Amino acid sequence: MRILGISGSPRKEGNTEVLLGEALQGARDVGAEVEEVFLRDKTISPCLEIYGCKRDGRCVIEDDFHEVAEKMLQADALILASPIFFYTVSAHTKMLMDRCQSFWVKRYLLKRPIAPGRSRRKGAFISAGATRGKRLFDGVTLTARYFFDALDVDLFDTLLVRGVDEKGEIFDHPEEIRAAYELGRRLARAE
């Protein structure tokens, strides 16, 4: 089982990154091979809506997207982590998502498989926000679901943490850190 963790926070070792790290540790502890990518270290253009991908499903903008895309395709499961920025995902995360329109085109317009021979791939989404509103995660939950769908990945689990803002504040919530660890274990064990 190969699991790819994708950190979408611009903040190094921020709250979502701590949770992602715990989830990957949980997966590693039950035998998964794990890798983590940090989107802030990548150069990924926004989608330019030129639809060069309609030819064969490959995005025609040449940048680090392709390196991340290849890792996403090779993984058996994905964990995406993003802070809440204005009730949606971070800009780093959204740039990756929008470039995955090329996978949507491949899957739904060209009707080609995304990861041939490997069905039922699973994804998990981790997020954190400063406020506590009931609807804080409404938008990102849908966004994450349809991002994974473009990759032919089912949204298996989410960990959504309210009321954390400052860097390191997540350590005041050991139950959420534990929940992240358990999420990683469950994901790695999922059939």
Whichever of 3 and 164 has its CB closer to ligand FMN, that residue is 164
Alpha-carbon gap, residue 187 to 32, rounded angstroms: 10
Q: For ligand FMN, which residue of 149, 167, 182, 186 counts as binding (CB under 6 A)?
A: 167
Whichever of 14 and 26 has its CB closer to ligand FMN, that residue is 14
Interface characters, 72-111, with ligand FMN (x: CB under 6 A) = -----------xxxxx------------------------
The least CB distance from residue 38 to ligand FMN, in Å, is 11
Q: For ligand FMN, which residue of 15, 93, 102, 143 counts as binding (CB under 6 A)?
A: 15
The least CB distance from residue 168 to ligand FMN, in Å, is 9
Residues 137-166 that bind ligand FMN (CB under 6 A): 164-165
Distances (CA, A) of 173 to 83, 160, 166, 178: 16, 12, 13, 9
The least CB distance from residue 79 to ligand FMN, in Å, is 14
> Which secondary structure element, helix H or strand E, spans residue 91, and what is its range?
helix 91-99
For position 26 contacting ligand FMN by CB under 6 A, the verdict is no
Closest alpha carbon to 11 in 46, 42, 39, 34: 39
Alpha-carbon gap, residue 117 to 64, rounded angstroms: 25
Alpha-carbon gap, residue 143 to 98, rounded angstroms: 11
99, 129 contact by CB (below 8 A) = no
Distances (CA, A) of 131 to 34, 83, 151: 31, 12, 30
Q: For ligand FMN, which residue of 4, 9, 65, 72 counts as binding (CB under 6 A)?
A: 9
Residues that bind ligand FMN (CB under 6 A): 9, 11, 14-17, 83-87, 128-131, 136, 164-165, 167
